[in-house]
Structure 1
Amino acid sequence: MAPQPDPPYVRIVTEIRRRIADAELEPGDRVPSTRRIAREWGVALATATKALTVLRQEGLVRAEPRVGTVVAETPPARAGRRPAVEPERELTRERVVRAAIAIADAEGLAALSMRGVAAKLGVSAMSPYRHVSGKDDLVMLMADAAYGEGAYPADVPPGWRPRLELSARLLWALYRRHPWLAQITPLTRPLLLPNLMTHAEWALDALDGYGLDPETMMNLHVLVYSYVQGIAANLEREAQAEAATGLSEEQWMDSQEPALAALAASGDYPTFVRVTRALGGGYDLRLDELFEFGLQPMLDGLAVVVESRAASGTD
């Protein structure tokens, strides 16, 4: 009887393991992403995720947030031996949620699947369903856990402006740590998550006592929140675009040179052409710098509203 072929994920693991052993992939190098593995080997994303999970369990690779999966610095001597599957009785909702967050942080929310979470935890595909009802439920639990990582100080800074600035910076830090988070909280359909409400409570309390009507208080809170979220949404979108096109931001811009030249030659956009040419080496859109650039002017604008209302309330 002919031997049965190895499962697809085993073949993928064997090939990537060989590339590492032969120094085709060196420590710190990115290994193929789940999407690239799925394309190259013609497998489902869940199979690709399982292959990378096995390599992580073996210590050959590690997840680097917003970079992807990279070769570990010091592969173990007995890398070919797979660790024993952890007892499923030790599985908890918190472990399921944390495993899912780790996948989304490293590979984006699109790479998340219940089967992939199970593979990362080393349990059967159906085991996570004992703790969460499905992916939608899991994503909400992930979001609540992520928003809960930001703690406000017990000593409240005086004045509405320092408090709103602190809130904006705390939210930015959370989105920086978990770029997928800005994708799942639509402004017009707010998620009533306990830990997200903590941020709303802080902002509204900061604005309380300045003679503002409830609608104005809510508008100011939403403006601050949407400013941070609006910039942060591009963190994940850039990662998704790079995964879909295989081009870095710089490579993509280089590919747009003919289109930019055509726009310049048309004569219809003289100001745009003049400004971009004056930039010389090009415009590097750095989201951290953009966040800092706009934060104080935004708060200046809010100050006009708050101080005018406060002044009218004392007349």
Structure 2
Amino acid sequence: MEDAPYRRIAAALAARIAAGTLAPGERIPSTRQLMAEHGIAMATATKVLATLREEGLVEAVRGVGTVVAAAEGRAPLPDRAAVVAAAIAIADAEGLPGLSMRRLAGQLGLPTMAVYRFVVDREDLVLLMMDKVMGDNPPPPMPGDGWRARVEAIARLQWRMYRRHTWLAQAVSFTRPLVAPNAMAHTEWTMDALPGLDPTTRFTAAVLVANYVRGTAVNLAEEAQAEQDSGLTEQEWMRAQEERISGVLADARHPLMASFITSPAAQHFSLDGLFEFGLQRLLDGLAPLRPA
């Protein structure tokens, strides 16, 4: 999605200010100059200057015009890698809802508009974050002990990746996938791990495995948010519900549920265990597709 013209122009000016090519006290283009240079309306040019004023980057000086404000406390402009790393740190700590361009700019000590020098918009930022995480977790060397061990290896790698970055599962889509080279490398590796199948089946199976891992991992973000909101871990929350659960099971209408919940296995039930159980059943389902 393309940015509004005023924001794109303001971002370019903010980047020049942050880089020092527009120095404190130096005049910036007037509304009429902006109109002529960019082919924009007066209202849009006025909004450019208003945005820069709101960011504290420029100020009006009587008899001079709009000039670059003093640079006290202004941080040097980072590179794109630093911007993406800061965004990942915020998302790791606060989830995707906590990540905004303003929040990111504050973390970097920059005016909000300066961030737009590096990313088009928030969607572009999330794509770069996702691809960075995928690049930091490349597929392993191909195991030599069969297709099943290979698929297990990539699935467990992705599960660990989602565990470290609980927001990531929310960013990944299989219906409207973002074009991320490092994510595509994961798919290519999984297809390579399944020789003997036609290309369509290999691709579908690779996406199926990745979608299973991602679909299970969505719960990690929800659990992290619930823990943050309630202050209780998953185990602490379950213990707090014991009386309520016992009351529901007391009427004997759910004997199978009761037999499990009162068993030792219930104490060890977790998303990790659910992931492993489901992964093995998924691989069992793929096995008949393999050539004899």
TM-score, length-scaled by structure 1 = 0.62
Cα distance in 1 for residues equivalent to 2:179 and 2:121: 19
Cα shift readout 1:143-184 (whole Å, capped 9, x = no counterpart): 111111122346663642232222112212221221111112
Cα distance in 2 for residues equivalent to 1:166 and 1:101: 25
1:194 aligns with 2:181: yes
Q: In the alignment, which of 231, 238, 243 is matched to residue 223 of structure 2?
A: 238
Secondary structure at 1:238 match in 2: helix
In structure 1, the residue matched to 2:211 is: 226
8 Å contact 1:144–1:194 — kept in the other structure?
Answer: yes
Cα distance in 2 for residues equivalent to 1:301 and 1:266: 38
TM-score, length-scaled by structure 2 = 0.67
Query: Which amino acid letter does the alignment assign opposite residue 98 of structure 1?
Result: A
- Structure 2: 5+ residue stretches without partners: 1-71
Cα distance in 1 for residues equivalent to 2:141 and 2:287: 25
In structure 2, the residue matched to 1:39 is: none
In structure 2, the residue matched to 1:182 is: 169
Query: Which amino acid letter does the alignment assign opposite residue 88 of structure 1?
Result: P
Q: In the alignment, which of 88, 96, 114 is matched to residue 76 of structure 2?
A: 88
Cα distance in 2 for residues equivalent to 1:155 and 1:250: 37
Count of aligned pairs: 221
In structure 1, the residue matched to 2:15 is: none
- CA drift of 1:101 comes to 0.2
Query: Which amino acid letter does the alignment assign opposite residue 103 of structure 2?
Result: G
Secondary structure at 2:193 match in 1: helix
The equivalences for 1:16-55 within 5 A come to: none
8 Å contact 1:97–1:141 — kept in the other structure?
Answer: yes
8 Å contact 1:113–1:135 — kept in the other structure?
Answer: yes
Secondary structure at 1:123 match in 2: coil
In structure 2, the residue matched to 1:284 is: 268
The equivalences for 1:64-83 within 5 A come to: none
In structure 1, the residue matched to 2:283 is: 299
Cα distance in 1 for residues equivalent to 2:223 and 2:209: 23
In structure 1, the residue matched to 2:31 is: none
8 Å contact 1:144–1:196 — kept in the other structure?
Answer: yes
Cα shift readout 1:274-308 (whole Å, capped 9, x = no counterpart): 2212338x5333333443444344323322221xx
Cα distance in 1 for residues equivalent to 2:178 and 2:254: 41
**Greater relative CO, 1 or 2 (CA 8 Å, sep 6+):** 2
Shift in CA distance, 166/121, structure 1 to aligned 2, threshold 3 Å: same
Structure 1 runs, 4 residues or longer, greater than 4 Å off: 153-156
Cα shift readout 1:208-255 (whole Å, capped 9, x = no counterpart): 3x1x23443233212211222122222211011122333332332234
- Structure 1: 5+ residue stretches without partners: 1-83
Shift in CA distance, 129/253, structure 1 to aligned 2, threshold 3 Å: same
Cα distance in 1 for residues equivalent to 2:224 and 2:180: 26
8 Å contact 1:88–1:127 — kept in the other structure?
Answer: no
In structure 2, the residue matched to 1:74 is: none
In structure 2, the residue matched to 1:99 is: 86
In structure 2, the residue matched to 1:137 is: 124
Cα distance in 2 for residues equivalent to 1:277 and 1:159: 39
8 Å contact 2:138–2:182 — kept in the other structure?
Answer: no
Larger Rg over CA atoms: 2
1:126 aligns with 2:110: no
Identity of aligned residues (%): 48
Query: Which amino acid letter does the alignment assign opposite residue 270 of structure 2?
Result: R
Shift in CA distance, 263/276, structure 1 to aligned 2, threshold 3 Å: same
Shift in CA distance, 178/86, structure 1 to aligned 2, threshold 3 Å: farther
